[in-house]
Amino acid sequence: MSLKTNLRVIEETGVIAIVRFDRSEDLIQVARAIAGGGVKAIEFTMTTPNALEIIAAARREFGEEIILGAGTVLDAETARAAILAGAAFIVAPTLNRRVIEVCRRYSIVAIPGAYTPSEILSAWEWGADLVKVFPAEIGGPAYLKAVRAPLPQIKLVPVGGVTLENTPEFIRAGASAVAVGSNLVNKKLVAERRYDQLQELAAGFIRAVQAGRNP
């Protein structure tokens, strides 16, 4: 799918699932359960062992059924390797101009990390499609709303401390989407292979986004 299509899917569904584990087993089943709940953008962090192989395997498994991304990307070299493995979006915890440039070169959705208004504006001016506000638990929805007041043109994605309960608040504060880690990809559910409950949790986050958009 094209950059515009992938970006539209992320914004319309409003949720990015962050999959971060020490072991890589069962991640395909986890991705399938999350996708079954309506979350179509799934980020595999580069801190996961064999992350590139997992992205490639998931791309072969799902095709264009879901949008696969690479997270915790710290440099341009890692960004390019993830893109070649099949990543359709790149997420970074920090702001690195060369990572954004690689995404632009390959027409891949760029989601760099920033926190201060100056960092957020720089990310946007350098070509970010969405800006990851991290760590979002510091300041919460109120901080996001405050940043959006002078920078309403920038599409923000809060990461860190996002829960079912505060997702509607983040959306009402102006978030284009939320990115959720352990509060969605619950390690206990995964360890016990309760994929049906994982799917329902994903569906719950989709409903929470909708609640924020349609109060």
Mean pLDDT of the chain: 95
43 catalytic per annotation = yes
| Length reported for the chain | 215
Give domain limits for the chain.
Answer: 3-210
pLDDT in the model for residue 22: 65
- CATH topology for 3-210 is TIM Barrel (3.20.20)
Name the active-site residue from 4, 11, 12, 43: 43
188 catalytic per annotation = no
Name the active-site residue from 40, 132, 155, 169: 132
Burial 56-86 (b: 16+ CB within 10 A, else e): bbbbeebeeebbbbbbbbeebebbbbbbebb
pTM, rounded to two decimals: 0.96
pLDDT in tens, 66-105: 999 999 999 999 999 999 999 999 999 999 999 999 999 9
Return the CA Rg of the chain.
Answer: 16
pLDDT in tens, 115-174: 999 999 999 999 999 999 999 999 999 999 999 999 999 999 999 999 999 999 999 999
